[in-house]
A and B are shown apart, each in its own frame.
Chain A
Amino acid sequence: MDGQLLEPTLYTVKGMAILDNDGNRILAKYYDKNVFPTPKEQKTFEKNLFSKTHRANAEIIMLDGLTCVYRSNVDLFFYVMGSSHENELILMSVLNCLFDSVSQILRKNVEKRAVLDSLDIVMLAMDEICDGGIILDADASSVVQRVALRTDDIPLGEQTVAQVLQSAKEQLKWSLLK
């Protein structure tokens, strides 16, 4: 038979992409060297994918032998691609994680401008969701925790407060010792 179930493997995701409302790539990653090896092929695929999905809000499509799940918001389109034999619900969980993570990072303001303003953090988030085709984490809040480093400024602030206290204590100690 034609391998109805995949060989048990962790390599599940073939690609992830965020496109704008003209179908241009904002960010995209392809994890399988056998699937669209060159940027040119990838972009052709993205154009094709976009033209088939930008109007129909249908969540799932088979294209070029890949199962693609997708979701859109204002002027952004999120895609996750997997093999045509892959469990669609696993791909869906990755897509939801991608979307929810981006949404949390941008504080619910999921649109192109905001993504570009926080491009570095969104890149880090994509890197935390999928590593070389293996789902690294599919829980949005944990992904955000791993990358939302800007909020980490607060602990840094706390740290300086702690340092101030520490130095105050030391000064006090020295003054007592005198």
Chain B
Amino acid sequence: MIAFKRDKKEEEDGGGNPFQNLEKTTVLQEARTFNNTPVNPRKCAHILTKILYLLNQGEQLGTMEATEAFFAMTKLFQSRDVILRRLVYLGIKELSSLAEDVIIVTSSLTKDMTGKEDLYRAAAIRALCTITDSSMLAAIERYMKQAIVDRSPAVSSAALVSSLHLTSVSGDVARRWANEAQEALNSNNVMVQYHALGVLYQARKTDKHAVIKLVAKLMKTSPKSPYAACMLIRMAYKLLDEVDEGEELIGFIESCLRHKSEMVVYEAAHALVNLGRSGAREIGPAISVLQLFCGSPKPALRFAAVRTLNKVAMSHPAAVTACNLDLENLITDSNRSIATLAITTLLKTGAESSVDR
């Protein structure tokens, strides 16, 4: 039995992992196969996976090694194998910071991003933007604007997310592409809507009035995407921190307590209790929501609730007292973080009567 176990263990450790004991130099040597024509997609995909695996394990490549591997990889653009092409994109992204002259693939990627296959286009956009520097930006600008308003959600999202990454290359990218992002905001796709909102906020965040206008407009038609709704709540919260009046903003956040997604409800409750200006009466509804969450079967939700209550207990201990019974139930929670947070919260709110229990 023991022998059997050991065999099994060995099998799992050694033979079970085809990627174990890979040698960097051997793998890089194998990468020379990429230069052969015609390309053998399966073999090359396997070698490329090995390279990606090594990089993921934290193996360091020198500039020379990386550049050599990168250039060998560019030969794989000849093959039309879908998996191989997608792995090449991944390789470009991983090696772009290590290798030299990576802009050599610009034209190949631009071709893929304007091609017909949607799966290629989205991934090609993301790869292209990792190798784009400020001098190349103008050349791809037209394609990017088109991609943002593309009807394929994958392409649109890829372009929006990439434009956010590109703000580190050129600060005003988001502002220049704001019109397109505005159009993408009307998308039916939840992720596109979320990404578009992110780009619009990036474009306008230095102009408070522009942000107020954006939030006011979106509040009327609360976004369908729960992620976008969370983002909007954060934007509203930030505005409340800066402006004097804000009845509507608070009203909007309160209305989010009735959202159908727990994620949004929690975000709203969290924002309401953290607002410096609200009194015990205003945070009442938010506290009841958190109290409800304390009894949730999901540990993450209980954790989120008790963590927030713990913080509120410092500023409004009286408001949290209503939850004491629920918090006492959490003392024996199987998740130790939840139990600890429950105890420290009770210490802040607890009266003498509850200390005994």
Contact = CB atoms under 8 A, between A and B. Distances in A.
B11 to A, nearest CB: 9
A131 interface: yes
B191 A136 contact: yes
Given A58-B337, A149-B86, A134 B300 contact: no
Contact of A60 (B191, B262, B335): B335
A116 B195 contact: no
B143 interface: no
A26 to B, nearest CB: 9
Interface in B7-23: 12, 16-19
A123 B88 CA distance: 12
Interface stretch (B30-38, B45-53, B99-107, B343-351): B45-53
B311 to A, nearest CB: 7
B263 A89 contact: yes
Given A5-B238, A87-B304, A89-B301, A112 B16 contact: yes
A134 B202 CA distance: 14
Interface stretch (B66-74, B131-139, B264-272): B264-272
A119 B87 CA distance: 11
Given A59-B300, A112-B12, A147 B86 contact: yes
Interface in B236-261: 237-238
Contacts of B154: 146
A139 B271 CA distance: 26
B327 to A, nearest CB: 17
A113 B299 contact: no
A112 B201 CA distance: 41
Interface residues of B, number: 65
A81 interface: no
Given A60-B337, A61-B337, A87-B304, A113 B16 contact: yes
A10 B231 contact: yes
A127 B125 CA distance: 13
B230 A90 contact: yes
Nearest to B235: A8
A42 interface: yes
A60 B299 contact: yes
B198 A87 contact: no
Interface string B75-91: 00000001100110010
20 contacts: A8-B201, A10-B194, A29-B56, A40-B58, A60-B300, A87-B267, A88-B300, A89-B263, A113-B12, A116-B16, A116-B17, A127-B93, A131-B162, A132-B161, A134-B164, A134-B195, A134-B198, A135-B194, A149-B86, A152-B82
Given A25-B57, A135-B194, A149-B86, 17 more contacts: A4-B311, A8-B238, A27-B56, A39-B60, A56-B334, A56-B336, A58-B299, A58-B336, A58-B337, A59-B303, A62-B337, A127-B90, A131-B126, A131-B161, A132-B161, A135-B191, A136-B161
